[in-house]
Chains A and B, each alone.
Chain A
Amino acid sequence: MPPRPFTLIKAALFLVCLGPLLDLTYGVIADTLGANPIEALTRGLGDWALRFLLITLAVTPLRRLSGAAWLLRLRRMLGLYAFFYALLHVLSYVWLDQFFDGAAILKDVFKRPFISVGFASFLLLIPLAATSTNTMIRRLGGARWQALHRTVYAIGLFAVLHFWWMVKQDITQPALYAATLALLLGVRVYWAVLPGVVGNIIHRS
């Protein structure tokens, strides 16, 4: 793809990704988030962190299926948005929900499995965000950088578990995210086990 249209696409995507934040911010200001706005905000931010994580994980399979190499150049921004929404989700929990009650937060993190896995997935995201620059990729070297960034698979798993274990009884929503994650990781396994087979079929057609 020529540089100019790509820059436009990237800029447009940047703005689109801010949409959920603007929507939630409007909800807070206009008081349209319902009776428990803090819960709605925290959950909304968490939903979007998970969605951006899955969108980021969808880039590689989409590139492979479509053959559009430029898709890969959007991956970093999408991944950073996943981190951005996860950070806001954690901030909303620590500040608005718990109001910096350190003891209560520590208890949550160590005693409640759903918060433990959620917190783990957030901690694991930090080094990925920190090593997302070109300089860091060069400094680490391609192979080591790639090895580090494979932790995103574990992050995805922990994030889905975080949601699954949080819901009281109706697991429809987390099951949908789990199925999406399973598909995205499944195609990777499939391609790794059967190198070239699927790619060849697609390229021949």
Chain B
Amino acid sequence: MLIRRPADTLPSEITPQAIYRDRREFLRAAGGLALAGGLGLTSDDVAAAKLANTRPGPYSTGEEMTSYKNITTYNNFYEFGTDKADPARTAGSLRQRPWTVQVDGLVRRPGSYDLDALLKLAPLEDRIYRMRCVEGWSMVIPWVGYPLHELIRRVEPLGSAKFVEFTTLADRAQMPGVHAPVLHWPYTEGLRLDEALHPLTLLAVGLYGETLPNQNGAPVRIVTPWKYGFKSAKSIVRIRFVEAQPESSWMRAAPREYGFYSNVNPDVEHPRWSQAKERRIGEFTKRKTLMFNGYGEQVAQMYSGLDLRKFF
């Protein structure tokens, strides 16, 4: 069920105080540990900058948000290690600046966008989305960003552009996990052009009103809330428009388990686990997983006529 709420509420107004307090406590603790060298974090990581002038965006859920601590300490980001606790420990070595995103392929106006250009490209919105991981857990995350179509519109895709491929940074010097050949680096993901243009698809630069922590895909990432989490490429350095459906890193690693679409679907099982239920982080019992992660009203029409069992 999609719980609608008036769009004029700021996350700061609806964040339960306990969560904010929890978060501040965590930042303090992390800062203290960093001083002691215990976490290997630098002060840059804990001092996420406040993002000014964000405005409430559409499609936000009114569900209770996952705590900042849980969002930032339980991450699948294999470039920083395969354990979900690894990225929070090791992502301190990622340098957020200078950062450029190359936009090329089948577009009329290819270009290279640095972070400041991206931050100024369109008004920043607060969007509280559900996030469902393919492993059977979920969160509610208050992202900051703007619809990816704002960027796509500016580069003017050619008629032949049918798909968009995203590439994540793969720098051994900054990302210890890239030394291990667990996935094909650099990590790539893809969307159909209409999916990339969908108003739900976000180019995210922040979390809880501040810039993204490294372990959450800083400084800029994609968010597609109706798909399993791995579809939302983190720390992207390239957006390429192509004609043929791109092969993602996960498709390449295990084609039987990960398809191109990877839409959240309780009726299509992953070979090794059911997708019927999920554990919302912070909750004890599991809840039923919703078709398209509860965003069916917005996205279902894009897949009418498509056999979702075959195109999983």
Contact = CB atoms under 8 A, between A and B. Distances in A.
A112 B269 CA distance: 10
Interface residues of A, number: 20
B180 A170 contact: yes
Interface stretch (A34-42, A58-66, A75-83): A34-42
Interface string B248-282: 00000110000000000000010111101101011
A99 B73 contact: no
A168 interface: yes
B160 interface: no
A34 B85 contact: yes
Nearest to A38: B279
Interface string B63-102: 0000001100110001000101100000000000000000
Contacts of B74: 34-36
Contacts of B269: 111
Given A35-B73, A36-B281, A99-B286, A169 B182 contact: yes
Of A38, A98, A165, A170, the most chain B CB neighbours within 10 A belong to A170
Nearest to B74: A35
A18 B144 CA distance: 47
Q: Is the interface of B mostly helix, strand, loop or mixed?
A: loop
Contacts of A112: 271-273
Contacts of B182: 169-170
A21 interface: no
Given A36-B74, A99-B286, A169-B82, A108 B135 contact: no
Chain B, interface size category, equals 20 to 34
A35 B281 contact: yes
B46 interface: no
B301 interface: no
B285 interface: yes
A152 B216 CA distance: 44
A165 B183 CA distance: 17
Nearest to B276: A104
B285 A169 contact: no
A34 B183 contact: no
B312 interface: no
Contact of B272 (A39, A165, A170): A165
29 contacts: A34-B84, A34-B85, A35-B69, A35-B70, A35-B73, A35-B281, A36-B74, A36-B137, A36-B281, A38-B284, A99-B285, A99-B286, A108-B274, A112-B271, A112-B272, A112-B273, A165-B272, A166-B272, A168-B135, A169-B78, A169-B82, A169-B183, A169-B254, A170-B78, A170-B82, A170-B180, A170-B182, A172-B82, A172-B180
Given A35-B70, A111-B269, A169-B182, 10 more contacts: A34-B85, A35-B69, A35-B74, A35-B281, A36-B74, A104-B277, A108-B273, A112-B273, A168-B135, A172-B180
Interface of A: 34-36, 38-39, 98-99, 104, 107-108, 111-114, 165-166, 168-170, 172
